[in-house]
Structure 1
């Protein structure tokens, strides 16, 4: 009976719920925009959101239960932001094929230790510069809304500043509420079209294309590893745990590869949101905090089952609200990236090359700006070492 009660601790439940709520509020709109960029219909997006919720939920529950550590998985928000910029050049099935390859690459990383060592040798400044260039346009577009949608933008800006000051954990949730409220007041949100049905999975046979692997799989893999998995491992260690890196990478990679045909683009370790199930507020006894990650997994699955409602809410929002939400959601990431990219003098010029080239959106011999920017930055760093 005591063991049963420990499973239903209100602290664990609330921590898990908060982690999922904040994760969804801060990035669902970006995931939807990425899927739309690939040409996915609203119906197909709901199937993909179901698969993502299910895989994140099951992986969080299984890894946390087996290792008795809070191992929270998540989709890659920076990865999704990158996909918005590049998926328009490929078909849905080709994109799914690229996601399969990304999963296999993550899985291989778990088996081949030198790959992790090689990734750890990528200067943090260059990785941050690449990621910063990916998210900057979203932030700029959000602030550009001041010219055309000034009332809504100012209302959301005030909400952002106020909650950042008073309750920073709930900033994005407050922005979602203000965004929906403004759309309702303006008569631009049709709640009658909301779908309350339970979702399901849908298989699409992936197609494999070499250029898609180079331009989607490889950049997505790098972003997932450098902005999610490696920081996620460091986050878990910072709270006194020793995570089992190999099984975590192999299992999340296998889950990504296996469920990519259902729309799972990348399942990784949660980085920043992981702190919500790792800190002392969850439980003074760190050996019990894994239960919070298990509850997060349960709420992931619930969110996946109700994917039609989640997707319809965000799709029903006016496009300008989505633009503002996406921009504000990525501001924290942008600050962190710019700070890391240009902090060290020895890496500053190489980081600048990476940043500017990635931001340019240039393509060369079929390679996209994300990959070219990182490669030239690495070359510059090597030449002037």
Structure 2
């Protein structure tokens, strides 16, 4: 197996890990903080997620000899950022993370549950995702309004680099953001803490509001926007693994990360193409090493989670939200286009998008759930009228 390693697989794996971590770690940190995590708990969650997805990628790729790329749930992090604190605080959020991971394991073990998730109308699932992402995608505009020079520097960097190589646009914006924070904020080496892992166990609590407002939408978003597209990327590159074992593995690693503050790990969708495509290796049978190498670097990056989180906490929140919003623009556009593609379901999708994006909640339950309920009711009524 070691003979299959090449400089090409190493570079593809490193690039995949760097893009996956640098382009969205701000989203994850923002989401964990929003549901009540302290700086230490957010750093622990970031560390647990990075190490869990690295180990999961290494294990699955070596076991199957397929380029199985794993990532944290970026849309899930955006969901947390818009949900906000729930009754019971971060302990209740951790309980919801555990339930979401268990549901993913069940989806991989019980084919009927997987079919139920797949049966959610794509228009509604994508509309809910677009509504979840809306708030963060507006952050670059808010950043330019509140901090014109810094906001424009981030947005212009992203736009210029994207003109030549879109893959590097968000990492470049992240680097500029970090530079601006280092210049404008009072960040000392002592304040960044140690690079070594500092796990902070969180005793889970369970509340109905957290289960309905976090666990269920997190499960749906992770399956609909990460696991299922991740399988599609593998199929597009002529890899045909059985979906059930992959879903079970990501669910188990999600459960392992949850007590330390991690929300969800899943199949990668965007960075998966880097490891599964011809740029990773001319021979498809040897590309699995690119995913393995990416997993190794994810574990290494996890060691720096505490410093990364401390650095973020010293910055103006709007700058971190701005770079997170830029990282999610592609996902937002894709979700919105998919939601509105079918004219017959368009009205229900718009309702789902608006209710979710409004941020309005009832009984302590976030708008993502109510958006899905409202859109589902309109869709059911539309189809009933059409049938009659």
TM-score (norm 1): 0.95
- Out of 134, 137, 149, which is 1:136 matched to? 134
Which residue in the other structure is 1:182 paired with?
A: 180
135-144 or 200-209, which deviates more: 200-209
Structure 2 Cα separation of the partners of residues 169 and 291 of structure 1: 21
Which residue in the other structure is 2:78 paired with?
A: 81
Pairwise mapping of residues 233-248 of structure 1 onto structure 2 (< 5 A)? 233-248=231-246
Q: Is 1:118–2:116 an aligned residue pair? A: yes
3-state SS, counterpart of residue 85 of structure 2: helix
Give 1:192 deviation, angstroms: 5.3
CA distance 1:186–1:255, change in 2 (3 Å): closer
Contact persistence 1:64–1:293 (CA under 8 A): yes
TM-score (norm 2): 0.94
Structure 2 Cα separation of the partners of residues 209 and 118 of structure 1: 24
3-state SS, counterpart of residue 115 of structure 2: helix
Q: Is 1:223–2:233 an aligned residue pair? A: no
Give 1:186 deviation, angstroms: 3.6
Q: Is 1:71–2:58 an aligned residue pair? A: no
Contact persistence 2:98–2:254 (CA under 8 A): yes
- Out of 281, 285, 288, which is 2:286 matched to? 288
Structure 2 Cα separation of the partners of residues 371 and 24 of structure 1: 28
- Out of 39, 42, 58, which is 1:42 matched to? 39
Give 1:170 deviation, angstroms: 0.7
Contact persistence 2:57–2:69 (CA under 8 A): yes
- Contiguous gaps of at least 5 residues in structure 2: 384-388
Contact persistence 2:82–2:135 (CA under 8 A): no
3-state SS, counterpart of residue 228 of structure 1: helix
Which residue in the other structure is 1:29 paired with?
A: 26
- Out of 14, 19, 25, which is 2:16 matched to? 19
Q: Is 1:158–2:156 an aligned residue pair? A: yes
284-293 or 118-127, which deviates more: 118-127
Structure 1 Cα separation of the partners of residues 155 and 142 of structure 2: 12
Which residue in the other structure is 1:96 paired with?
A: 94
Which residue in the other structure is 1:172 paired with?
A: 170
Which residue in the other structure is 2:295 paired with?
A: 297
Which residue in the other structure is 1:362 paired with?
A: 360
160-169 or 176-185, which deviates more: 176-185
Contact persistence 2:75–2:133 (CA under 8 A): yes
Structure 2 Cα separation of the partners of residues 127 and 281 of structure 1: 32
Give 1:264 deviation, angstroms: 2.0
Structure 1 Cα separation of the partners of residues 315 and 277 of structure 2: 34
Structure 2 Cα separation of the partners of residues 43 and 170 of structure 1: 29
Cα deviation digits, residues 113-172 of structure 1 (max 9, x gap): 122222222222211111111111112232022222111122112111111111211111
Give 1:292 deviation, angstroms: 0.4
Give 1:191 deviation, angstroms: 5.0
Which residue in the other structure is 2:386 paired with?
A: none
- Contiguous gaps of at least 5 residues in structure 1: none
Aligned residues: 382
Give 1:187 deviation, angstroms: 5.4
Contact persistence 2:187–2:314 (CA under 8 A): yes
- Out of 38, 49, 54, which is 2:51 matched to? 54
Cα deviation digits, residues 316-359 of structure 1 (max 9, x gap): 33323212111111111111122111122111101011011111
3-state SS, counterpart of residue 138 of structure 2: helix
Structure 2 Cα separation of the partners of residues 4 and 132 of structure 1: 42
3-state SS, counterpart of residue 247 of structure 2: helix
